[in-house]
Structure 1
Amino acid sequence: MNVLFDLGNVVLNWDPQAIISSLNLTEVKKRAIGSELLGSDYWLELDAGCSSEAEVIERLEQNSVLSARDIQQCLDATKTSLLEIGPTIELMQQIADQQIQMYCLSNMSRETYAFIKDRPLFNFFEDLVISGEVKLIKPDPDIFNYALDKFSIQAADTLFIDDSQANIDSAAQLGFCTVLFDRSDDCYQQIRALLGLHSKSC
């Protein structure tokens, strides 16, 4: 069995509301960050590799209360907020100890991946696919098939872990074993059971 991990909210913390709250902006601008950037098509364009951060900043500031500096502040805060989720790192170490191969498939911009790619956690992965680099994005089945081909693995032999129901549904239709990740103890226990790992000691 192989394990295919998502990153945001699985391996790395992803909390848009906390990011917005941390910004040194007015409440009006914070709301605009939420609706016009983090919760908008611009964000999908970044993840899909269709636009660069510079292009998004240039286009968004023309029709927004947000300045280029405001937008860049959010983009920078997003990168630094992506901290490792401790229990997941512990799980990954346990998986590695059993010589089970791990891979990564994440929706993420090129710029964000460039910021985090040298972290030690990436040593766990045999290989990875980042949406912004390949210009495909989950839940499109094409990115799953691209990953399977790149990794030379089979869906039926792979456990896919993601926090998005849409992504899980897409993977399941392709034959992956799946776990919808919610950071609960039960979820970690489910993953360990599927992989034949002993539960973590208290």
Structure 2
Amino acid sequence: MEIKNIIFDFGGVLMDWDPRYFFKDYFNDDEKMEYFLENIAQSEWNEQQDKGRSLAEGTDIQVTKFPEWEKELRAYYDNWTVMLKSDIPENVEILRRLKNTEYHLFGLTNWSEETFPYALENYDFFQIFDGKIVVSGTEKLIKPDPKIWHVLLERYDIQAGESLFIDDNPKNIEMAKSLGFITIKINPDTDLKQELENVGVKL
């Protein structure tokens, strides 16, 4: 089936976000940093804020569990903008090229409703989507829950079989495939232009 729609995840695809960009200098001790990120401020905890829990509530819950790490936990969202290092220029350039094609462009992201506005305000390429972005924190749904893809499909009246979904998370790619999407999994060394050409997208 012909691809009509291209759907981008943001983190790891168009944006380079990693808590290590802040905590590397904060700890100045890689072993301690990795312990903190794997056991105290783990990705599963951050995902609950992406799913709609407030940053303040999420922080307080974790401080109650790990009071000896209170200072570090409170530093997490206070310094979130440092963790959002930059865009991923080669992939953003592809997005800009797609703007002038016949494809309809969408965003589907796991992102806190409280922090996403900062990205919108500071990176102009988000305007290319013309507001056609589904944010997990707003919907109170998070990938790989299939319901969030259905929000996108129903809100914009598009078909999975006519849509290409681009993400860096294998679980999200697996779910999108099961829902009928064409998919591209992004790695740090992925040549997105080549991958798009491989599935028939014309730039």
Which residue number corresponds to residue 86 of structure 1? 89
Residues in 2 aligned to 1:76 and 1:191: alpha-carbon distance in whole angstroms:
37
Query: Number of matched residues?
Result: 195
Counterparts in 2 of 1:26 and 1:190: CA distance versus 1, 3 Å: closer
Counterparts in 2 of 1:172 and 1:102: CA distance versus 1, 3 Å: same
Q: Unaligned stretches of 5+ in structure 1?
A: none
Which residue number corresponds to residue 52 of structure 1? 54
Which residue number corresponds to residue 41 of structure 2? 37
Residues in 2 aligned to 1:193 and 1:4: alpha-carbon distance in whole angstroms:
16
Which residue number corresponds to residue 99 of structure 2? 96
Residues in 2 aligned to 1:184 and 1:141: alpha-carbon distance in whole angstroms:
28
Q: Which amino acid aligns with 2:41?
A: L
Which residue number corresponds to residue 121 of structure 1? 125
Which residue number corresponds to residue 107 of structure 1? 110
Q: Which amino acid aligns with 1:190?
A: E
Residues in 2 aligned to 1:18 and 1:180: alpha-carbon distance in whole angstroms:
24
Counterparts in 2 of 1:26 and 1:151: CA distance versus 1, 3 Å: same
Cα deviation, residue 81, structure 1: 2.8
Which residue number corresponds to residue 63 of structure 2? 61
What TM-score, normalized to structure 2?
0.86
Residues in 2 aligned to 1:185 and 1:138: alpha-carbon distance in whole angstroms:
22
Q: Which amino acid aligns with 2:156?
A: F
The 8 Å contact of residues 23 and 73 in structure 1, kept in 2 or not, is answered as: no
Q: Which amino acid aligns with 2:92?
A: I
Cα deviation, residue 166, structure 1: 0.6
Report sequence identity in percent.
28
For residues 186-201 of structure 1, what are the structure 2 equivalents within 5 Å?
186-198=191-203
Cα deviation, residue 37, structure 1: 1.4
The answer to which of 51-60 and 74-83 deviates more is 74-83
Counterparts in 2 of 1:27 and 1:186: CA distance versus 1, 3 Å: closer
The 8 Å contact of residues 112 and 136 in structure 2, kept in 1 or not, is answered as: yes
Which whole-Å deviations, capped at 9, do the CAs of 1:97-154 have from their partners, x for residues lacking one?
Answer: 2242210000111112122122311111140101011001101111101111112111
Residues in 2 aligned to 1:25 and 1:62: alpha-carbon distance in whole angstroms:
25
Counterparts in 2 of 1:14 and 1:195: CA distance versus 1, 3 Å: farther
2:186 is equivalent to residue 181 of structure 1: yes
Cα deviation, residue 34, structure 1: 3.9
Which whole-Å deviations, capped at 9, do the CAs of 1:44-86 have from their partners, x for residues lacking one?
Answer: 211111x21111121211232222x432322243333322100
Counterparts in 2 of 1:86 and 1:27: CA distance versus 1, 3 Å: closer
Residues in 2 aligned to 1:115 and 1:77: alpha-carbon distance in whole angstroms:
12
The alignment yields a C-alpha RMSD, in angstroms, of: 2.1
